[in-house]
Amino acid sequence: MIALGVCPLFAQTSQIPTSVDSALILDAAGPEQRKSLGAIYLVVCPGVGAGTGFLLESGVIVTNAHVVGTCNQETLLAITAQNQAIHFDKVISDTSRDLALLTPKAPQQGGLKLAVRDNPVPGTTVSTWGYPLLYNGASPLLSVGYVSGYRVDSSSGKSVKHIVVNGAFNHGNSGGPLLVSHSNEVVGIVVLTYHFYPPEVKQIIDALANQEYGLIVGTRRKPDGTIEQLSEAKVTAMVLGEFYQKTQVMIREAIAASELKAFMKEHSAEIPMQTGKNSVLSNQQASNR
């Protein structure tokens, strides 16, 4: 398993994708899903990569920590389905859960609710809106699958509940909301995918990326602004790396919503919180963690 979401298609340029068809998608989504679309963002760490994020009704935007990457509140930005740039006052990351909370400078409206329970039965149809492969612009796309089971991820040294999904969730979907079909309540945050390649393949690709032999066939600008010469071996590694990252079996994972509730509770003094019966940290919901 590897964590996906920082799309390398964006990593080599500082250009921000622009939406060419968001109005058509919003019109076609219908009233039930239109609220979901308005709450979905392309989250961009300039020069490094991009993924998906979503707005909660409390006003906080949620994504994966690995989507935020090396960015902070000064450099991270999000793009709405209407192609508007959102900047942030605060970024709080939890690398053990692979979650991040982003506080927008300007208040955002129409966020999603966290579900009271995050244990839909296996076979339940689920979906996510997001930016698989950053395809053609800033408009989110719908991906659908079903719940296959559950798993506790202990790779960070901390036990984190994951929902296992069988579905076409691709590179760039990480950080998006996992929704039960025909509902706008969030049961999870898309994070992991499985590969059928043996680990040796990744090691070979990494070794090629560090080789300087062969003809110099091009250059690229690195995130720090310096220009790197590209040998034949490095270009080969880049091409193989793209195939490695994007070829997948139809198994994906999402961090359970209860993990997000616990993370938000830990930082409740630092982020805006909605109060009342629909609060993401209401007593009823917190008791179901």
What pLDDT shows up at residue 285?
Answer: 44
What pLDDT shows up at residue 21?
Answer: 53
What pLDDT shows up at residue 247?
Answer: 53
147-185 pLDDT tens trace = 999 999 888 888 999 999 988 787 788 999 999 887 888
What pLDDT shows up at residue 1?
Answer: 25
What pLDDT shows up at residue 246?
Answer: 56
Give the CA-trace dihedral at 100, 103, 105, 111, to 10 degrees: 100
Q: Strands 113-114 and 185-193, how do they pair?
A: parallel
What pLDDT shows up at residue 199?
Answer: 66
Q: How many CB atoms lie within 10 A of CB 186?
A: 27
Q: Which of 35, 34, 60 is nearest to 281 (CA)?
A: 60
What pLDDT shows up at residue 186?
Answer: 94
What pLDDT shows up at residue 113?
Answer: 92
- pLDDT < 50: residue spans in the chain: 1-6, 8-15, 18-20, 276-289
What pLDDT shows up at residue 284?
Answer: 44
What pLDDT shows up at residue 22?
Answer: 54
What pLDDT shows up at residue 136?
Answer: 52
Q: How many CB atoms lie within 10 A of CB 15?
A: 8
Instruction: Decide yes or no: CATH 3.50.50.60 for domain 2-195+248-272.
Output: no
What pLDDT shows up at residue 286?
Answer: 41
Query: For residue 56, what are the β-bridge partners?
Result: 112
DSSP string, 78-113: EE-TT--EE-EEEEEEETTTTEEEEEESS----PBE
What pLDDT shows up at residue 197?
Answer: 60
Residue ranges covered by each domain of the chain: 2-195+248-272, 199-246
HSE on the CB side for 152, CA within 13 Å? Answer: 4
> Is residue 85 within 8 Å of 77, Cβ to Cβ?
yes
